[in-house]
Structures are given as C-alpha cells and as structure tokens.
Structure 1
C-alpha cells in the first residue's frame, strides 16, 4: 500500500538475538502479543549493515522480504545504489534524494574497539551523522529512532541531540526496559513526592558488561524519578563505588540499604543467600540531582537476573520489578512505540531522558576509571518534563 510509511534500517550487525534481530525482525514478522502477532503498519524498505556477522541472518531476511541491502547509509535513505566507476565522481553517479519516511538506527553488538574506561565504542554518532547529512539536504525532516544510549562520548551525544533539534528531527532513543511489565504495576503520578529511590540491577561480568547493563539500570531509575515533584532538573554529581566498600558504606548509612532489601524482596529470579556473599565485584552508582534529590543504582554481578525499583514516597516504601524474562515481549512494546512515532511524527517519550543518562553513565565510568572519585556534572543540568499521555505499555496506568 502506497500510504504506508517506508522505513530504513541502519544496523551494526545482524545475527540471532542481536538487537537488530530483536527490533528489525519484528517490523518484518510482526510484534508478539501473547500467542498472536500484531501486524506492523510500516514497511522496512532498505537495510544497511556495517558488519556482516559469521552467523548473519540479515541478508537472508532481506532477500526473503524483498528488501534491498545498500553498501552506504546514503543509499539506504535515498534508495539509490552507487553507480559503477569512481565513487562518487563517476559521470553516472546519482546522489539521490531522501526517499524514506523514518530511520531505525541500531548500533548495539558488533566487532568494535573498547577504550581504557571499559566502554564499547559503537559508532552511533557516525551513523546518525550520515543520516542527518541526507536529511539536511532534502528539504524535509523524518523521525529517527536510536537504540539504547546516544554515545559512549558525551560530546558526541550532545552533538546528536543538538543536531536533531537544529534539523527538527523527531528523535527518540533508549531501550525496551521502561516499556516492560512491572510487577506490581507502579507508575508514579506526575508530581509525586519521591524522597529517595534505588534500582537493583544486574550485569554480566565480562569486560564491558557494566557499561552495557549500567545503562539499563540508570534508565529504569530515570523513567520513574523524572515524574517526581518539580520535574526533572538534571544531575549535579555522580560517583561509582565497587566491591566490599559498597557494603561497608551501606552499613554506615551512606546509601539506603533498606531500599535495596525491598527491591530484592520482589525480585523473583535470584539465588539463595545474601547478595554481599554471592557477588564478587558489584557496583553502586550514586546520583546527586540538581534539586537535592538522591538516587542509587546497585548493579550486581551475581545473585539476581532482574531489575527492580524501590522508593520512599511520603514516608512509605513503594516498589516494582521490571519483567525482562521473555525477550520478545519487551522488544515488542519498544517496536510498537517506535512505530507510533514513525506514523505520528511525535516521540512517545522525551529524548532528554536518554541524553541525561548517557551523560551520567559516561561520568560514572569516569569515576570508576579514576579510582571511584565523586565527579561534578554541571553539563548535566538538563531539565525536561515527563510524558503525561502514556506510551504503548503492557499494563494499564490509572
């Protein structure tokens, strides 16, 4: 049907259970909804892959669905294959013009270098910059979704945000975690008097595991606390603590152990015993917000395989767990929200959330690298308002 939106998919690599598979494949096959599939209302019409995995499934899926695979992002957005001869000065070269209605950028997974701060350097800015190049010369704008955080580098992340604003690009980013089932259902009303909060999360203890999973822990926190009284004001300082010092500081009241115990109570997927005995090198993220609010993300390298949130609200504790067990389920709701932005041209939730936690994660990994020092973050003085109209969620918000 000619009135369906045409979407370009820009991915780093495409193998089974990669983020490209968990997102792009759903736009091809349908969005899981229990035992059924919800038929997508938009069409993937082009694909660019930065790297071809040894167990690649993207090329075959593209062929099966009649999708052209392009050697460049320019081609993927203009639907123009490069001409023979000298690129791009051949007499037969056609630059092309913007020919799609939306872009998926999925730069998660792939063979990319890490740096000394244990951060995997996925080329998110480069991919986005190439997309913006085509948009900027087209005379029109289209929505863009960027999977997970904006960049490993704050300057690149800020550039992406500012470039999107300059070009009036409807821009949405982040992961599936804020969109999964919560048990029990908890969505703070806007303006809730949250006194302090903690997210209990996990990470796989490979070299770059804290970088990858730490984003999820921060995002689980931010999607809840951005709804606090006064709205989001930004983050003034952060600190990362690791190992035994976490438990020692907890016993001294430096962070709210009772909130960690409450979050642990509602986690289903956990080992027997105590978290301090089961974990070898956990990490604690301490967040000091501009308005004086404090939040904590306790990332465990064992003991649990789940994320949970606990907060003190008006003198009592509220808590919920994030159900990420069924891999298809959370990505289904992420895809439905991306699709809604492609159709309406309006992001489902503020990209400033992702910008803020992108910067917080960079500063926290810097704190870890520099011996767990407290780092002030005046550049994260980022204010924004949370959504009032809920995005597509697997639960009902009163």
Structure 2
C-alpha cells in the first residue's frame, strides 16, 4: 500500500474509532436515562419517512440505485453508511418483465402503492417527510427533437397537488434534469419558490470522485472550460445532460458568479473538427481533459472518432464552454479549463465506478440525505434549471441542423456553493 493509502486508512480508522467512542458514550447515557426512567431519543424521535415515486424499479435503474441505497445503505469513506431515513412507500409507473418493485417492497416492509397520492399518505394527509422523484428508464416516447418524454413534470404536479390539499409540503429530489421541456422545468422551480419547499435535482457527475481532486475556489477567473465524454449517440440528450452538469458545476465558480448564457449550438461530424481548427473550442483543453481519462484510446482522434458531436456554449460574460462526445476515444468524463494568469490548464477525470454497483450513486445519495435533513439543497436547483434548459435547446439546435440558439430562458443567475459536495477518499470498502 502507498503512503497516501496508509494515510486514508489511518484517517478512516480514527474516524471510525471516534464514532465508536461517541456511540459508547451514548449507550452509557441511555442506560443512565433508563435507570432514571427518562425517555430515550429513539423513543421520542422516529426516523424521517421517505416516499419514492419511480418510473421503474428494476436492476440498474436509477430508482434501484438511489431508493435502493435508502434501503440497503452504501459505502462512505470505506465503511458502511445507513441513511438515517426510512423508505416507507413506493410507487412505480411501469412494471416491466424484470420488475423488482413487488419483491423489494415485500422483503423490506415497504408499502407498494397504486397511486402517487397513496404513496404520500392519501387519506391520512401528507405523512411523509421527503420525496424521491426518480423518473429515468422505462418505456416512454420520443418527440420530434429526439427527447425522451419522461413525465417528471406531470408526476411533480401530482405531488404538489397533495401539498396544496394538505397545506403542508416537504423537500423533493428530482433525479437528473427537471424536465425535457425547459418551460416546464422553470414552472417546477417557480412552484417550489411559491410554496416554499426545498427542491433539488441533477446528475451524480458533479459529486462523484475526481482524479485528481480539484475544487476551484468560488471566484476563479476562468476563461474557457471543456468536457469530453464518450457514450452512445442513439438518444443524445441522456449523456448530453450529464456533460452539461459537469461543465456547469465547474464554470459556475468563475469570477462574477453565474450570470447566464448567451447561446448554445450543437455540431456534428467534420463541423466539430472545423470549429476546433477555427479556435471556437480549444484543442489544448481537449488534450488536457483526455490526459486524465483511463479509457483514452490510442491513435489520432480524427481517425478514431466516426461522428464527433459538440455543444458550444457562450456565456454572457464572454466565458466559453464546450462539451465533446468522442465515443471511440474515451468513455470517461474529463474536464479541463484555462484560467486567467495561469500558464497551464487545470484538468480532472470525473470518475464513475462501473455497474452493477455504480458507486457514483453513493455521493449523490449522501447529498440527497443532506438535503432531506436540512430542507436546503447543497447546491442550487438553478444549476439544474440551467443545465435542463441547455439540454433542451441543444436538442433544438440538432433538429435545426446546427442553428445557434439564443433564449431569455438561459438568463439564469445564481451563486455557486462554497463546497461542491464531491466525494474524496476511497470508493471501495476498507479492509
């Protein structure tokens, strides 16, 4: 084991030992309270109750990974972590042949519901404390822009209807983008503001492990950022959204904060290479990003990549952003950026441990926990409103054969969080 590996294990052991010491102290205090016939905290307080509203619950679905972690727990800093919440009800919109919803609910004492309102409490009123809205995977149609019409907005509205009827609201986490339609996404954010409940959304990419572990300070004078990735092109928006989330989670930390985006354009084929040759995006940043990718292919990019895809983003303050889908060159999400006054770019790989475990859902679930505990998202939902809008308008650019898209909907302003919430340290079990 390396010296750094020894240090990680030492810190993990010390943290575990400290936790055991605290636990022993609490046990002693509990025994003392029992002797005095005082109620313990476990008697006074119950675990907060969570409902999961899913499209499907099958192996490797997002609901399987996120709701499943609320059931089974997951690894944090090398050790098992059990969320201090109780998943009490589940509703699944579709029941595919490999549906795991009924068996999972039966095995773990979860009520499998027939309606969304039933999952939230129905006749008893709103008797849960937080909602997971996980509408990813399943059999849904595509529109003329090539977007999967996941009914996130429609199911969100059904949840909100219960809030309005009961006069009570609770935090909602929406997996991935808010909606394929940026107008509906904006309505969701406005509804949360109007009813004053916490709303969190987004990808696991901004909080997964980074190699190396870079976190630019808020106010960094970025000039340009670039993300490279490589995934199937059949449904472009699926991974397009993840790439925009990587880009935005970094570029929002630039000097002056997030002041909105002027335009987005989607390019394919030779037009991508031509844009790089014309310095509309940086070959140097592409090389820096790829240098961090373990999956990087050998050989020239122009020979390897059969149909490059790019989205070019121009921010209102003049900063540039690029995402590049180079499927034959890499399967990792790499990031690089140039900074004013720096001679060399910064770069990192946003690391995704492989399925079936897909441990990048560990940091996402932990950040959801923080949100459910406080009612305040650890990073602004406005980021996901902006990335949802970017994804939608980039798909319109594809439909319009590479047209530059401008829209006031891209004028989203917000302040970046001081801590991005990404996981440090080991991503495997200690032992």
Answer whether TM exceeds 0.5 for this pair: yes
1:159 is aligned to 2:220? no
TM-score by length of 1: 0.92
Alignment of structure 1 residues 174-323 onto 2, 5 Å: 174-206=202-234, 208=235, 210-314=236-340, 315-316=342-343, 317-323=345-351
1:390 Cα deviation (Å)? 4.6
| Greater alpha carbon shift after TM alignment, 361-370 vs 373-382 | 373-382
1:301 Cα deviation (Å)? 2.7
1:340 alignment partner in structure 2: 370
Q: Is the 8 A contact 1:176 1:330 kept in 2?
A: yes
2:75 alignment partner in structure 1: 32
- Give, in whole Å, the separation in 2 of the partners of 1:65 and 1:144: 23
Alignment of structure 1 residues 97-136 onto 2, 5 Å: 97-136=125-164
Instruction: Specify every segment of 5 or more residues in structure 1 that has no aligned partner in the other structure, as ranges.
Output: 81-94
Name which one, 1 or 2, has greater alpha-carbon Rg: 2
- Give, in whole Å, the separation in 2 of the partners of 1:388 and 1:178: 14
1:292 Cα deviation (Å)? 1.5
Supply the RMSD in Å over aligned alpha carbons. 1.5
1:96 Cα deviation (Å)? 3.7
Q: Is the 8 A contact 1:145 1:172 kept in 2?
A: yes
1:35 Cα deviation (Å)? 5.5
- Give, in whole Å, the separation in 2 of the partners of 1:363 and 1:329: 31
Q: Is the 8 A contact 1:31 1:336 kept in 2?
A: no
- Give, in whole Å, the separation in 1 of the partners of 2:366 and 2:220: 28
- Give, in whole Å, the separation in 2 of the partners of 1:18 and 1:109: 6
Instruction: Specify every segment of 5 or more residues in structure 2 that has no aligned partner in the other structure, as ranges.
Output: 1-41, 427-431
SS at match of 1:266: coil
- Give, in whole Å, the separation in 1 of the partners of 2:244 and 2:398: 16
| Greater alpha carbon shift after TM alignment, 243-252 vs 22-31 | 243-252
TM-score by length of 2: 0.85
1:350 alignment partner in structure 2: 380
Give CA-to-partner distance per residue, 1:241-278, whole Å, 9 cap, x none.
10111112212222211111111111111222122222
1:11 alignment partner in structure 2: 54
Q: Across the two proteins, how many residue pairs are aligned to each other?
A: 379
- Give, in whole Å, the separation in 2 of the partners of 1:34 and 1:115: 42
1:70 alignment partner in structure 2: 113
SS at match of 1:37: strand
